[in-house]
A and B are shown apart, each in its own frame.
Chain A
Amino acid sequence: MKTNENPYIPYPATVKETWYETGGERCIKTFKIVFDDEKVREEWSHLPGQCAMIGVLGVGESMISISCSPTEGDFLRFSVMRMGKVTQALHQLETGDKMMVRGPYGNNFPVDEWQGKKILTIGGGIGQAPLRPIVEYVRANQDKYDGLTMIYGARTSNDLCFKGEFEEMNKCDDLSCHLTIDVEEEDWSHNVGFVPQMLLDLNPSPENTIAITCGPPIMIRFVLENLKKLGFKDDQIYTTLENRMKCGIGKCGRCNAGNMYVCKDGPVFNYAVLKEIPEAFA
């Protein structure tokens, strides 16, 4: 067996930069990493929506959304919530440390198919991580899309990720960013209220628009309901799923939702497909 024939072998990457997006017990830390091996760097190619298995040898690995667009440069970004054994170990990594990475896995958002359309992303909490690459991708290819509207909410302002990046967005004519938090806070100049309600209030036209949503299951459920109210057709709506995964390549079994393996047939699904799978919203 040659190394490159074994898909289970992770490649070492160096952490170039890290910062905390949020605080608290379940804090989210972002890692910017670069593969050590030049060949791996050259051969790596991903698109918005794809994931990677990242981890620490001796602890384990977890499937995490790649939270950057390939248009941003020769690096990868992951935003990881501290939840269990592996994410705990990942959180201990600092600049200069090694992260082990394999992938990219899963399908991607069909960003090419979407050219010429308006893009509407609706995210909640850490659910913004797989949506961020779309925002960045469209931002880098503004001439190819008919604008982007981003709705993003979290419980409190401290729970919003990527806060520093949103100011820039509103400076562009074609991009608009709408933030919301669940409860009123001092010095908060944006919306207060739940994401699905904000969507209704903004009342975006479904005309030539693609809506992509990711967030807690309860938020997704109401966002889907409200998109229907706004006149969006099933095939104009996309979401990205997550399930427990071990292999990432359709072998270990557990990530299926009905007859779909989230790691291979997903994680990106069109709602017209997804609504036929009752387990998808279990």
Chain B
Amino acid sequence: MPRPPTMLDISDLKVFYGPIEAVHGISLCVPEGQCVTLLGPNGAGKSSTISAICGTVKTSGSVKFLGQDLANTDVEDRVRAGISVSPEGRRVFSNLSVEANLLLGAGIRRDRDAIRADIERWFRTFPILGDRRRQMAGTLSGGEQQMLAIARALMSKPRILLLDEPSLGLAPRIVSQIFEMIEQLKQDGMTILLVEQNARQALRISDYAYLLNTGTIQAEGPASSFGQNDELMAKLTGLG
């Protein structure tokens, strides 16, 4: 089977926080329609990589999206190009209503009626959010906030969805629900870059995986072979 065309192509990416280098020249690619997972412990540089793709940190190296170098583009350009993120720690806008959070996700769009229709669509998909549309997002449960964060990321109609630790701090039953939701998105054709510590669940729905540690890529391969590498899995689940 031929590999699908590459959507996101990162090479020799370094991320800097002032004088400190957090990611030391990593290369990875996300093919269209696939789900790629970035595994690794705390402080491995996973979130820094996500921020680099979004354009919110200082970087060197190249990030190419649909063949275009993103070097001189700002955050807004990247959202417009089709990159959308559900940030770590379910960062919803807690003092705004559920509905306003979704509206914000559509900040770059101007098609008012379609935005309204999309919001209603998400409320049908997640009735629990629909029931609480006027409630402050901060009053939702952890799982609900994560659903909202993902739905909000989808409001910009992205080509690629970056999910930063969607299972963080959630009860196992809720984690399974969130992964089902991600799997559904993938089946609908969404390209996903997933950052996770929960290796087993992430590998189950992924096509390809990278293991990141202390800012470098230490292993990569198809998700299925990752799962069969007992030594690696022991290490990963130990970390997760």
Q: Do A and B come from one complex?
A: no
**Which residues of B line the A interface, CB within 8 A?**
none
